[in-house]
Amino acid sequence: MSALVPPLLSRRRFFLWGALALLMIVLPLVFDKGYALSLMCQISIMIIFSLSYNMLLGQTGLLSFGHAAYFGIGAFATIHALNFVGKAAALPVSILPLVGGLAGLLGGVLFGYVSTKRAGTTFAMISLGIGELMASASLMFPVVFGGEAGVSGNRVIGKAVFGVNFGPQIQIYYLIAAWTFLCILAMYALTQTPLGRMANAVRDNPERAQFVGYDPQWVRFMMMILAGFFAGIAGGLSALNYEMVTAESLGGWTSGVVLMMAFVGGIGFFYGPIIGAVLISLLAIAVAGVTKAWLFYFGLFFLTMVLYAPGGIASLLAMHKRLWNAGLLLMVMPAYARVTIPLLLTFAGLVSLVEMAYQQAEVLETPLLVFGASIDVNSLAPWLIALALTAFGLVLLKLSWPRVSEAWRQVLAGINGEVAR
């Protein structure tokens, strides 16, 4: 994170926010299929959710394994509010996500008070416990959480205003998009406030933050409450989008997914979780459509990111942007070209192995097609070939990777030399 953050509305920022708004308005006009629309709704919701998660992990340094609790609380509050509004018509549907946000905020006050007393590993475990507490409690109170079936509602209630009754998917998309835009703006603005800056200080060095006169526990508590608020809004939007909320939205799976999105996108950058939310949602659809092993690939992808690119995609982008600015991006390209083939070999070998293993386990009727070739998984030859491919690729990778490091070292030396001059 850079030390100097430009003001919220410099000319460049204004242009960026305008572009984001324009993109959100134009996208559904380009991709107007029902399928694409619902995907965009889902992605928008996940963007708010993962940004709210990053308020904890990236900005305050709190690793949470139970963030779905606030999402779920918001979702259930909203769906109940929706059903209540259906009877009494007290609130317009468009501001119902705020109810979810407030419920999430209350959840943040309640659980945050307990959990933010500690940071680090203890916080992570408490958050896990709270997540599990909510998940098991949700099955105990069927009146509130609807048991296994969940609670459903109907968003097409009340009078249509200017023909908008949120029946068609496109209308709910624009509602979600508007909320998403507002939430991104608000969360970005928060990073500029004294609280947002203090959260960073508490993340980096709680003791020194204390010396400056701030109470780290209080700062963590405030960030937790606000993160709960935005997660609640995301939950509320998902309740309106699907018109149904199940106990699953409170559970460990949802917490895990948001963690992965924020981390893979890059927790050190404000826009990182946005990249993560878009990428993982799209990948989930694309990969799950092709193979049954998509969860396995996800786990592998996540582990690789943790071990080799802990800054996430956003930090990789930022690194290359620095080269681009210095006009040196071309210098690393030869080294990249050199590792491309070993990478592809390893990838091909691994994918073949995993796919054959799944084929073997599931005993599917259809013959397995790996890269267009039909393969008999019961004979030994394809296994040996795949294994050899993977091993060969890995060895080549190990041999050729030093060139990439060397190219980077030279380029960075070049940049730093220029700065020094």
**Per rule CB under 8 A, is residue 117 in the interface with another protein?**
yes
Select the residue interacting with another protein from 132, 215, 243, 248 (CB under 8 A). Answer: 132
Report in angstroms the alpha-carbon separations of 141 from 148, 226, 301: 11, 27, 37
**Least CB distance from residue 141 to another protein, whole Å?**
6
Select the residue interacting with another protein from 128, 156, 331, 404 (CB under 8 A). Answer: 128
Select the residue interacting with another protein from 160, 290, 306, 388 (CB under 8 A). Answer: 306
**Least CB distance from residue 337 to another protein, whole Å?**
26
**Per rule CB under 8 A, is residue 136 in the interface with another protein?**
yes
**Per rule CB under 8 A, is residue 141 in the interface with another protein?**
yes
**Per rule CB under 8 A, is residue 130 in the interface with another protein?**
yes
**Per rule CB under 8 A, is residue 126 in the interface with another protein?**
yes
Q: Can you tell me the distance from the alpha carbon of 188 to that of 190, in angstroms, rounded to the nearest whole number?
A: 5
Select the residue interacting with another protein from 361, 364, 369, 399 (CB under 8 A). Answer: 361
**Per rule CB under 8 A, is residue 387 in the interface with another protein?**
no
**Per rule CB under 8 A, is residue 280 in the interface with another protein?**
no
Rounded (10°) CA dihedral 15, 21, 23, 25: -150
DSSP 8-state secondary structure symbol assigned to residue 219: H
Instruction: Give, as ranges, the residues between 157 and 196 that touch another protein (CB under 8 A).
Output: none
Q: Which two tokens stand for residue 178?
A: 């508007």
Cβ proximity of 13 and 239 under 8 Å: no
How many residues lie near another protein (CB under 8 A)? 44
**Per rule CB under 8 A, is residue 140 in the interface with another protein?**
yes
Specify the stretch interacting with another protein by CB under 8 A; choose among 135-143, 153-161, 365-373, 385-393.
135-143
Phi first, then psi: give them for residue 218, nearest 5 degrees: -65, -45
Going by their DSSP bridges, the two strands 373-375 and 151-152 should be labelled as unpaired
Instruction: Match 């705020």 to its residue by tokens.
Output: 98
Q: Which two tokens stand for residue 29?
A: 């006009």
**Per rule CB under 8 A, is residue 212 in the interface with another protein?**
no
Q: Which two tokens stand for residue 320?
A: 């290359």
Select the residue interacting with another protein from 17, 84, 296, 392 (CB under 8 A). Answer: 296
**Per rule CB under 8 A, is residue 402 in the interface with another protein?**
no
Encode 130-160 in three state secondary structure: HHHHHHHHHHHCHHHHCCCCCEECCCCCCCC
Which of 136/193 has CB closer to another protein?
Answer: 136
**Per rule CB under 8 A, is residue 318 in the interface with another protein?**
no
Tell me the longest C-alpha to C-alpha distance in the chain: 72
Q: Can you tell me the distance from the alpha carbon of 223 to that of 164, in angstroms, rounded to the nearest whole number?
A: 35
Kindly tell me the burial class for residue 311, based on how many C-beta atoms sit within 10 Å of its own C-beta (0-12, 13-18, 19 or more).
Answer: middle
**Per rule CB under 8 A, is residue 230 in the interface with another protein?**
no
The 3-state DSSP class for residue 374 equals strand
Question: Which residues of the chain form contacts with another protein (CB under 8 A)?
Answer: 57, 61, 63, 65, 114-115, 117-118, 120-122, 124-126, 128-130, 132-133, 136-137, 139-141, 143-144, 252, 256, 259, 263, 293, 295-296, 298-300, 302-303, 306-307, 310, 357-358, 361
